[in-house]
Amino acid sequence: MLKNALESVRDGIEDLTEVRVTTFTGTAEQVLGATRKEDGSFKSMDEILTDFAPEGGTVQLACMSVLDIDGDALFFRADDVSDDLVTAHQEAVSAGIESRAAIISLFQNVIKWGADQVAGD
């Protein structure tokens, strides 16, 4: 049980090291399938789109931003993307950064609280 809890914490920390926002445009004439894997975790967008084979529709990558905690960044913007879509994408990136910062702050507070509890014993 402790091993599973530690693995979950490790996986969560690994997820916090990157902010990835991918924006697609297009039309879809098919309902997306399940977004969860058999183990209950969520599928990545790559997995969802791999499972998704639109018939009579098109899905195209419009923008992608990948920001690593070490400062590395990757940005992509298709040539024909509207300014409104770029703005929406940038807002999603900002929201991702803010949510990661809040979660990291929460971890810091929990670790500090735990250290204070151990020091107080």
Q: 67 pLDDT exceeds 80?
A: yes
pLDDT digits (tens, 9 = 90+) for 20-33: 898 988 876 655 55
Structural tokens at position 28: 């879809």
Indicate the residue type of 84.
D
The domain segmentation of the chain, as residue ranges, is: 18-120
* Stronger pLDDT, 115 or 65, i.e. the higher one: 65
pTM: 0.63
* Stronger pLDDT, 105 or 115, i.e. the higher one: 105
Q: 54 pLDDT exceeds 90?
A: no
Sign of torsion over alpha carbons 95, 97, 100, 101: negative
- Say if strands 58-68 and 18-27 run parallel, antiparallel, or are unpaired: antiparallel
Q: What is the pLDDT of residue 108?
A: 80
Q: 6 pLDDT exceeds 60?
A: no
Structural tokens at position 90: 């940038």
Q: What is the pLDDT of residue 65?
A: 94
